[in-house]
Structure 1
Amino acid sequence: MKDKDELQPSELMSSETLKLADEMCERLSSELSLDKRGKAVFYNGAFTDLASAARHEHPVTVADLNGQPWLTLIGHDHLPETDDGLLVYRMPLQENRRFVGRVHLSRPGRREGDQPDQFFAVFDIRRDVRR
């Protein structure tokens, strides 16, 4: 059981440091990562690889960790790694969000409770393209 006064990693480190730490943990072990569950807000969205001639639209769930410079994409499709991806999602009572950015190669879930047909990918926001 956690002490309610216990500090969280997000209160001690910058978003860039947290991202670097998470990437380092992933390289070290498939069993080791920073636990950010319960911190994200989820939205329905779609991802398209703009570099692909097919321009297939992948339905995704977008996990936003309070304005970090990256988002986590969760979907039933294996997302391709690309430097030119378009992500569109709607926030409640607001306009659509449209970002162009880099998508890291998606991977299956590794935590207990992750669905076997779910894939997770990090989306680095490069540019906001709302009109």
Structure 2
Amino acid sequence: MPASSRTATVFDALGHPPRTEPSAEGTRVTLRLPVTRAIPQLAGHYPGFPILPGVLLIDSVRQAAGFACGAELRLCGIDRARFALPLLPGDELELSLVVTPAADGRVAVRARGTRSDGQTAAELSATLEPVVADA
């Protein structure tokens, strides 16, 4: 296998800034994600049947939550993840998040991903924390 085919491509879910608004639960975040943004990652995920990998959906949630918090966040844990329907090239995903800061500095996130046909494709509950730069 050539070295270039093993090189990871950084996935940027934030083609446009997500919409944020305060709520009683925390910050509501909405992000529209055309699956075509992940074309390099789709190529090797189920050859012949490309779908958006779940890890990219999780990372999209991390990126959107980080935008809402104004900080880079890293994943601490996943409390619940459900991938109900595949996301195929040509689909557009709407991610709706509720980002709630915790007393310990971490951030709780609940997210739902809906396809453009209105069906729920994924649901996720996770804990994130700010990335601390090494001194």
When normalised by structure 2's length, the TM-score is 0.30
When normalised by structure 1's length, the TM-score is 0.30
Asked which structure has the greater RCO (Cα within 8 Å, sep 6+), the reply is: 2
Q: Which has the higher helix share?
A: 2
